[in-house]
Structure 1
Amino acid sequence: MTHYDLIVIGTGSGNSIVDDRFDDLSVAIIEQGLFGGTCLNTGCIPTKMFVYAAEVARTARDSSRYGVDAHVDGVRWPDIRERVFGRIDPIESDGRSYRSERLPNVTVYPEHAEFTGRRELTTAGGRVLTADRFVIAAGSRVIVPDIDGLDAAAVGAPGSRIHSSDTVMRLAELPGSMIVLGGGYIAAEMAHVFSALGTSMTVVARSAPLLRHQDAAIAERFTECARESWDVHLNAQVTAVRTGSDGVEVDYRSADGAVTTLAADTLLLASGRRPSGDLLRADNAGIDMHADGRIAVDEFQRVLSGGTAQDDVFALGDVCSPYQLKHVANHEARVVQANLIDPDHLTASDHRYVPSAVFTHPQIASVGLTEQEAHDDGRSYVVATHDYGAVAYGWALEDTTGFVKLLADRDSGQLIGAHILGPEASMIIQPLIQAMSFGLDAKAMAHGQYWIHPALPEVIENALLKLDLPG
C-alpha cells in the first residue's frame, strides 16, 4: 500500500490542477488512456482541425455563387490526418513524459484503477493506493448501442468497418461512403467533415429533428440544411448491423413498421458519451451517483456521499457535469484547484450561462434557455430573430439559411437565451455570452456601443433592436 497527499484520476482538465503550488505534496496521477483526455486526443481539437479542412473543400466547391470557378482536384486524406495528429500526438507524449519523468513529487500510474474502499484505489496491476484527498476527473466514454450484430469489442479494431469518434479520424483512407448513427453534435460534425471531403453520407437518427436539444427553430432549420447535403433518415430504430469484406449493412425500422436496409463502406457510431464513474466503482467509496451515471457534486465540486459533501474528494468534467464541454471542465478544474489550495475559503462553480457550439455546416452556437425551456419555466419573455441575409455581410456571404434568435426577459430586459445558426456562429455569439454573464440588458447592449459596419455582428445588433421591450 502506497499513500499520497493527493491522487488525481484522469489527465484531461484534471491534468492542469497540479502546478508548482503542489510541489510540497506527494501526488499520484492515474491515466489508463492517452494523456490530455478526450478533448486533445479524440474530441474538440482534432475534430475542429478536420472541420477546417472540410470548410476549405466546401468553400471551393461552392465558389461559383461568388463568380469564382474553383474546384477540388483531390483530397489527400493521409495528409489531412497527419497534419492533425502530427501536432496532437507529440503534445500527448510530452505531457506524459513531463508528468512521469520531470516532477519528483509526482508518480504516474498508466493503468486502470478502481475504488476498493472509501479512500482506497487498486490498480489493474494490483497496487493499492490511498490518499488524503482525491480529484476524480475520469471523463466519459463512447456509447456503443445494443444492436443485434454489433460487437462492442470490434468497434475501432484494426480492419474493422465500424468506428466511433475515438477511432474514425485515424482511418487509413477516406471511405467512399459512410453511415452515421446518431442525431447529436458528434454525428453532425463528423457527417460534415467526411461529406465535405468527398464521402457519400447517410445519417440515421432514432428521433427527429437532428440536434433536437437545440432551440426548435435552430434544430428544424439545421435538419432542412442537412437534408440538402446528406441522405437523412429520422425516427429510425436500428435493429441490426452486418459487416462483410466489402462494407457494412444497417437495418432500421421506421415509425410505420417498415424495415429499410442501408449499405456503406463504413459505419460511424455517434450515439453520445456516458460518464465513466461506474468504471471506477465509485460506489465502493460511498460516492453518490445520478441516474444518468454522473458522480454527484455540490457547487464547490465536492463529491457527495449520502447527500453530504466530502471535503477531501472532488470531481470535475464529464464524469460529474451535465455539460460535456471542455470549457466547462476547465472552469471546474480551476475551481477544484482553488479549493484544494484554500479549503477555508471555498470557490463555487458558475454554471449560469454555459455556451456551446456545433462545428457542422451551418455552424451553430447557443447559450441560455431555448424558447421551449423559457415557456416551460413560466418565464415572461420576448423573442426576436434576424436573418444573416438581411445584413450587408450576409449579402457578401450569399447566405440564405443563417439567422440569430434572441430571448429576453420581458420585465428586466435581460437576455435569457441566444441561438445562432450560420457562418462563424461560435465567434459572434461571444458578446451575447458576455452580456448575459455581466448583466448587460438587451437595450443597453444594442444602443450603448458601436457595431462595426458592415461586419457580421450586425446581425446580432439587428436582432437586439427587434426585441419588443418596454421603455
Structure 2
Amino acid sequence: MSSYDVIVIGSGPGGYVCAIRCAQLGLKTACVEGRETLGGTCLNIGCIPSKALLHATELLHEAHENFAKMGLMGDAPSVDWDKMQAYKRDTIGQNTKGIEFLFKKNKVDWIKGWASIPEPGRVKVGDEVHEARHIVIASGSEVSTLKGVELDGDVVVDSEGALSLPRIPEKLVVIGAGVIGLELGSVYSRLGTDVTVVEYLDAITPGMDAEVQKQFQKILAKQGLKFVLGAAVQGVEVADGKARVAYRVRDDSGATLEADTVLVATGRRPYTDGLGLEALGVKVTERGQIATDGHWATNIDGIHAIGDCIAGPMLAHKAEDEGMAVAEVLAGKHGHVNYGVIPAVIYTHPEVASVGATEEQLKQDGRAYKAGKFSFMGNGRAKANFAADGFVKILADQETDRILGAHIVGPMAGDLIHEICVAMEFGAAAQDLALTCHAHPTYSEAVREAALACGDGAIHA
C-alpha cells in the first residue's frame, strides 16, 4: 500500500494544477486519472479541441471574406475535413503530453485507473488501495442531457461528438444558445453548414449582460446563424440518418426542424459517479454538487473538492484557481479565490468576454453606477483588420468610480478582459484605466476609451 500526503482525483485543469502545486509546496502527491491521457475534458474533448477548430475555421472565413479586400488574390482554400481533424488531434496530443511532462518534472505520480473512496484517507484504484492524509476530488462534469432527447452518438450528439463528426453536415440544429452551442455552431457555419440554434429562454448566452446578448445575436445572425428563441424542445426523432426536432414556442404553437445532425448543448452537471460519496456521507447540494466550505473542505475530514463538481461557474480557470488555493491550504498556507473577478469568454468571432456585475444585476441590487461604452468602430486597428463589430462597456460605482464589471464584444475580447480583471483585483477606478497609457494602434485602446467614457468622455467616440 503506497502512502501520500495528497491524492487528487481527476487530472483536468483543476486536478492537474492542484497536484503540481501540492508537489511544489513539498507534499508527496499522486493524481488518479482513468483516461489514457491527462488533462480531463478540457484538454481532450472540450476547450482545446474546440479552439483548434474555431481557429482553423476563422482563418477559412478570413480567406473567403477578406483576403481579396486586402489584395491577397488567388483561389480561396477548400476544406479537407480529415486533415482538419488530424490538426485538432495533434493539438490535443501536444497539450496532454505537456501535462505528463509536468507531472514527471514535479514528481507527481500518475495512478492510472478510476478512483473510489472506500473510507476517509484511502483511495482505491483497481485492486490497489492507496493511503493519503488529504484527498482532493476534482472529478469535473459531464454533459447534461435533455429530457426526451436521446443521444445516439451519430445523428444526435453532445459536444464531444460534435468535435469529431465523420463529415460536415448540411444542416445542424443546436439545442442551447450557451457557450458550447454558439462556439460549435460557429465552427460549422463557417464550414458551410446551415445552422439553427434553438433556445428555451428569450435571449442567447443566458446570464450575460443584456446589451451584449442583443449585439452578439445580431452579429451571429449576420454571419448566417439562425435563432429560434423562447422554444421548448419536445423531442428528437431519428429516421434514415436524419433528425426531426419538435419544439413549442411561448404561444404554445408547435413546429419542427429537420437536420442531418443535432447538437445537444444544454449544459453540464457534476460528475461523481463511482466515487462512493453517498456511502461516505459526503453532503451534496440539490443540484448534485459536492458541498464545501470556504476552504473547499467537505463535511468529511480530510476530503476536499474543487472545480466543476462544486458550486460556481463551470470554467477551467475557476477550477485552476481553486486547485492552487486548496494546495496552499493543505500546505498550511492561506489559499484564496476572488470569485468576483473570474472572467468568462466565448471564443467565437468576434469574441465575447465579461467579468464582474452586469447592468441588470446592479439595477436589481439598487447600486448606483455609471456605464462607459466605446464601439470598436472608433478603433483604428479594428477597422484596419475588418474587426470593428462590437464594443467595450465598463461599469463603475457612481460615487467612488471603482470598477464593478466589464463586458466586451469584439476582437481579442478574451485577452482584453484581463486588463480589467487586474484593475478590479487591485480595486482600481475607471479613471485609473483612463490615465494609463495604451500603445497605439491596439485593440486595447478601446478599453481605455470606455474607461474615459465613465468620466468626461471618450476621445474617438
Give TM-score scaled by structure 2 length. 0.89
Secondary structure of the 1:262 match is strand
Q: For 1:389-428, what aligned pairs fall within 5 Å after superposition?
A: 389-399=377-387, 401-428=389-416
Aligned counterpart, 1:195: 189
Aligned counterpart, 1:31: 34
Contact between 2:5 and 2:27, CA under 8 Å: does it hold in 1? no
Aligned counterpart, 1:10: 10
Q: Distance between the aligned counterparts of 1:354 and 1:360, measured in 2?
A: 19
Aligned counterpart, 2:375: 387
Give TM-score scaled by structure 1 length. 0.87
Q: Distance between the aligned counterparts of 1:26 and 1:455, measured in 2?
A: 44
Q: CA deviation at 1:404?
A: 1.1
Aligned counterpart, 1:234: 229
RMSD: 2.8
Task: Provide, for residues 168-188 of structure 1, a one-character-per-residue CA deviation record: whole Å limited to 9, x for no partner.
Answer: 212222222211111100011
Q: Does the alignment pair 1:358 with 2:359?
A: no
Q: For 1:318-337, what aligned pairs fall within 5 Å after superposition?
A: 318-337=308-327
Q: Distance between the aligned counterparts of 1:347 and 1:387, measured in 2?
A: 39
Runs of 5+ unmatched residues, structure 2: none
Q: Distance between the aligned counterparts of 2:398 and 2:377, measured in 1?
A: 27
Q: Distance between the aligned counterparts of 1:32 and 1:368, measured in 2?
A: 35
- Aligned counterpart for 1:429 among listed residues 417, 423, 431: 417
How many aligned positions are there? 452
Q: Does the alignment pair 1:244 with 2:244?
A: no
Q: Distance between the aligned counterparts of 2:425 and 2:108, measured in 1?
A: 39
Q: Distance between the aligned counterparts of 1:240 and 1:352, measured in 2?
A: 38
Q: Does the alignment pair 1:316 with 2:312?
A: no
- Aligned counterpart for 2:96 among listed residues 79, 92, 98: 92
- Aligned counterpart for 2:208 among listed residues 214, 220, 238: 214
Q: For 1:64-463, what aligned pairs fall within 5 Å after superposition?
A: 66=69, 68=71, 72-89=76-93, 91-92=95-96, 106=109, 108-111=111-114, 113-121=115-123, 125=126, 131-147=132-148, 150-152=149-151, 154=152, 156=153, 160-228=154-222, 229-277=224-272, 280-304=275-299, 310=301, 312-340=302-330, 342-343=331-332, 345-399=333-387, 401-447=389-435, 449-463=436-450
Q: CA deviation at 1:394?
A: 3.5
Look up the equivalent residue of 1:459 and give its one-letter code: A
Q: CA deviation at 1:109?
A: 3.8
Q: Distance between the aligned counterparts of 1:26 and 1:331, measured in 2?
A: 18
Secondary structure of the 1:277 match is coil
Q: Distance between the aligned counterparts of 1:292 and 1:393, measured in 2?
A: 45
Q: Distance between the aligned counterparts of 1:30 and 1:426, measured in 2?
A: 30
Look up the equivalent residue of 2:150 and give its one-letter code: D
Task: Provide, for residues 143-188 of structure 1, a one-character-per-residue CA deviation record: whole Å limited to 9, x for no partner.
Answer: 11111xx334x3x2xxx21211122212222222211111100011
- Percent identity, please: 29
Runs of 5+ unmatched residues, structure 1: none
Worse-superposed segment, 22-31 or 179-188? 22-31
Contact between 1:180 and 1:270, CA under 8 Å: does it hold in 2? yes
Aligned counterpart, 2:55: 52
Look up the equivalent residue of 2:212 and give its one-letter code: I
Task: Provide, for residues 2-51 of structure 1, a one-character-per-residue CA deviation record: whole Å limited to 9, x for no partner.
Answer: 76543221011312333555887474624357521111011111111111
Q: Distance between the aligned counterparts of 2:304 and 2:109, measured in 1?
A: 19
Look up the equivalent residue of 1:11 and give its one-letter code: S
Contact between 1:276 and 1:319, CA under 8 Å: does it hold in 2? yes
Secondary structure of the 1:133 match is strand
Contact between 2:24 and 2:106, CA under 8 Å: does it hold in 1? no
Look up the equivalent residue of 2:443 and give its one-letter code: L
Task: Provide, for residues 322-380 of structure 1, a one-character-per-residue CA deviation record: whole Å limited to 9, x for no partner.
Answer: 1211112111111122222x22x332222231111101133101111000111122211
Contact between 1:300 and 1:349, CA under 8 Å: does it hold in 2? no
Task: Provide, for residues 371-396 of structure 1, a one-character-per-residue CA deviation record: whole Å limited to 9, x for no partner.
Answer: 01111222111112111112323332
Q: Distance between the aligned counterparts of 1:385 and 1:87, measured in 2?
A: 37
